[in-house]
Structure 1
């Protein structure tokens, strides 16, 4: 697998995903503000990857500090606030910064800044490695759920799967969440073909998921986002699995814009629709999806494609980056701990009990 991000000797290295698949551009930086900009501009993207990147960005900010210990608390508060402001919807970002905050809170009084920074760097590395392990476990639980839910189909043939946006190595710190499930299912001989929707306006499905699938030699076809309904109508999709940027206590799920439309079509055609995401994506402080802040991005992302104007600069645009799929449309939420099916309020809460 290609490492979408890495951190070594005080340097954050990331693959700028805005230029894929036509150009592989790896950037190295020691500047935390540059790392924040990479998250804001989607050079680094994908909920789990954003979380790990946020932790590394905090480390870059620590390394940049030149003042006295007495002045550090105010600096650290500003640093965390800047990182938190980079992307409002992906809860993994806040999960990571809270972990970094917890290390600071537990050790600031007793430790020198050098020792404190070393502990926080170790925590950032742990956040990354935990996400790698989470992907492996999510994939295993996902495949087990598919074998249960689609046993009848699997007796006669392999499965065709729809996925949306990008949830693989480029979005995570391992084999991926939804794409990790697909990869393992393919390795076990369960998958015939992947249907990857383009994911307008930034085309993460067409540019990134297709690139990963081609790299792995997994049969796939790319489609426009609006094509999934007719494919379902014609029996060309057996199940769908996508990722998530935030999941509320009742199972409502924010994901890349277009997910909700796929889920509505899947529900109409009685096709299982799954979410694959780490527990860090679940925000049980929110009871339902209407409470999730939805990022609205620059209108030019829709009016232009890779710098080419496709609408007049004065064309009015609504450019939501995410939509919310109600938990009632979701067959199961697959996490690294287990696949939760049915009562999401109870099932998701149980994930936090241990």
Structure 2
């Protein structure tokens, strides 16, 4: 069983995903600075798992505090700010820190620091437990949507699904978002095979999703990101499903760079394209995709592949980590509460309420 992240006796343990699938390196740390660095460097990645890691990182920071209660508010504010600065696009991170801040706001005045820290530790564990339960719920709702939306195709054959980046256990700590739906659909006999796009520049689809599918014995093919339109043209893909790092109030969705191209191709070829993400990924304070902050990462991620230089060090690079898929290209959004189709503005708001 894949153990992407755990927290035991004050120690955070995580699988360093930068070295998969060739090496399975587990790291243990009691340092919140090291945990923040793990989020920044994508040793820990995937929107829901980043949220889980953020909660545990706050706890690591609390464990190292040795000041007075009067000095604690300033320390806590700086700790939260450092955690939130690690990855600006993944809203789950901010959802996790918001839950920790809520505990602080409600209990700081009357609690001792020890009692407050215990409350926050329980909250961080609760965030992890919630993500596991969310994945199970998404898998059920996603399979229900596939059965309903693709009933004509399912009457004739099992389906081939396209996915992008990694949205499984390695991204969530549970069974996964989009990949969790795929795993459940495979067990239900709905899927014949998976097409996983490589997901340049860090190859999460080729390295991580392929590895997870091998662990589950699910048939798959890996492809270059630019191949999906041609496979759709040839009738080799029946539908697509991916995860999300942030969903705006109108359903515009930020996900790993390359997602929008798949979605546009699917729309052109009249192939359903779905998003699977927990409700915590929905940010109704953002009206549309134009307002989603998009992280631009170091140019060397594109100029090198696992430390090997493939372009000159002076090659100018644009390296956005995410793109935004407009809602008109999204057939449905699967959440842990239910799957919604069309008129996202009202339905997403109702899910939050």
Calculate the TM-score normalised by the size of structure 2: 1.00
Structure 2 stretches lacking a partner, 5+ long: none
Which residue of structure 1 lines up, in the alignment, with residue 113 of structure 2? Answer: 113
Q: State the SS of the aligned residue for 1:70.
A: coil
Cα RMSD (Å) of the superposition? Answer: 0.4
- Measured in 2, the distance between the counterparts of 1:174 and 1:110 equals 35
Which residue of structure 2 lines up, in the alignment, with residue 236 of structure 1? Answer: 236
Which residue of structure 1 lines up, in the alignment, with residue 78 of structure 2? Answer: 78
After TM superposition, the structure 1 = structure 2 runs for residues 193-208 of structure 1, keeping only pairs within 5 Å, are 193-208=193-208
- The reply on whether 1:282 has 2:288 as its aligned counterpart is no
Which residue of structure 2 lines up, in the alignment, with residue 149 of structure 1? Answer: 149
- Measured in 1, the distance between the counterparts of 2:64 and 2:341 equals 46
- The reply on whether 1:322 has 2:315 as its aligned counterpart is no
- The reply on whether 1:217 has 2:211 as its aligned counterpart is no
- Measured in 2, the distance between the counterparts of 1:3 and 1:253 equals 28
- The reply on whether 1:9 has 2:13 as its aligned counterpart is no
Which residue of structure 1 lines up, in the alignment, with residue 336 of structure 2? Answer: 336
Residue 172 of structure 1: how far off its partner (Å): 0.4
Residue 3 of structure 1: how far off its partner (Å): 1.2
Residue 304 of structure 1: how far off its partner (Å): 0.3
Which residue of structure 2 lines up, in the alignment, with residue 31 of structure 1? Answer: 31
Deviations 1:66-96 (A, max 9, x none): 0011100000000000000000000000000
Residue 219 of structure 1: how far off its partner (Å): 0.2
Which residue of structure 1 lines up, in the alignment, with residue 59 of structure 2? Answer: 59
Which residue of structure 2 lines up, in the alignment, with residue 168 of structure 1? Answer: 168
Deviations 1:252-280 (A, max 9, x none): 00000000000000000000000000000
Which residue of structure 1 lines up, in the alignment, with residue 189 of structure 2? Answer: 189
- Measured in 2, the distance between the counterparts of 1:275 and 1:352 equals 17
Deviations 1:283-314 (A, max 9, x none): 00000000001000000000000000000000
Q: State the SS of the aligned residue for 2:202.
A: coil
Which residue of structure 1 lines up, in the alignment, with residue 178 of structure 2? Answer: 178
Residue 179 of structure 1: how far off its partner (Å): 0.2
Which 4+ residue blocks in structure 1 deviate beyond 2 angstroms?
none
Which residue of structure 2 lines up, in the alignment, with residue 250 of structure 1? Answer: 250
- Measured in 2, the distance between the counterparts of 1:349 and 1:122 equals 28
Matched positions, count: 353
- Measured in 1, the distance between the counterparts of 2:82 and 2:336 equals 29
Deviations 1:17-66 (A, max 9, x none): 00000000000000000000000000000000000000000000000000
- The reply on whether 1:312 has 2:312 as its aligned counterpart is yes
Structure 1 stretches lacking a partner, 5+ long: none
Q: State the SS of the aligned residue for 2:89.
A: coil
- Measured in 1, the distance between the counterparts of 2:209 and 2:173 equals 15
- Measured in 2, the distance between the counterparts of 1:63 and 1:27 equals 18
Which residue of structure 2 lines up, in the alignment, with residue 18 of structure 1? Answer: 18
